[in-house]
Amino acid sequence: MTTRRQWLIVGAVVLALAGGLYAATRTFGSDLFPVAPGSKAPEFHAATMVAGGPTTKNITDYRGHVVLLNLWATWCGPCKQEMPGIQALHDALGPQGLKVVAVSVDDPGFDDAIRSFVAEHKLTFEILHEGSGTIERDYQTSGIPETFVIGKDGVIRKRVIGAAAWNSDANMKLMRGLLAEDAP
């Protein structure tokens, strides 16, 4: 066997392995790289719901802060139930640096419904909107509400599927502990 033939075989094997790896990451990506406590928070892009037109925010806008990232929708009953606790957590720890970011996953065109929801529930934390389903896919959600607690280092520290009492003693203690950590 010639040297040239050997290199052709090696090249074919490398290409086959690279193709297999690419196919595996596309097919099994969420299994290979789960979004879970200990992993970096995925990037996202969502529109702000402020007067004067939307701007886009992403996870890097919150680097160096403790973030409670809540994915919700206006039609979601459990979302409505947990909002008072999220607001109470924001009221208590927002002044200490906690960033509460609630991203509505309502379909596009629901801006007025989102604003009405915010007004009705007297929410004062940051409300964003991402209605394409991208944030749900990237954060590998299984439903809503789903909430991620992200440390100052951008690492997910807690993931909660379903509604939670965010102003409970345990959650307040967790947040205070994360707020006391040094920023990276």
Span 64-81, pLDDT tens digits: 999 999 999 999 999 999
Low-confidence residues of the chain, pLDDT below 50? 29
Cα torsion angle, 30, 31, 34, 36, sign: positive
pTM, to two decimals: 0.82
Assess contact for 148 and 159: CB atoms under 8 A: yes
Assess contact for 68 and 89: CB atoms under 8 A: yes
Structural domain 45-180, CATH architecture: 3-Layer(aba) Sandwich (3.40)
For residue 24, the model assigns a pLDDT of 55
Query: How far from 102 is each of 36, 68, 89, 147, CA to CA, in Å?
Result: 19, 8, 13, 9
Q: In this structure, how many other beta carbons lie within 10 angstroms of the beta carbon of residue 176?
A: 14
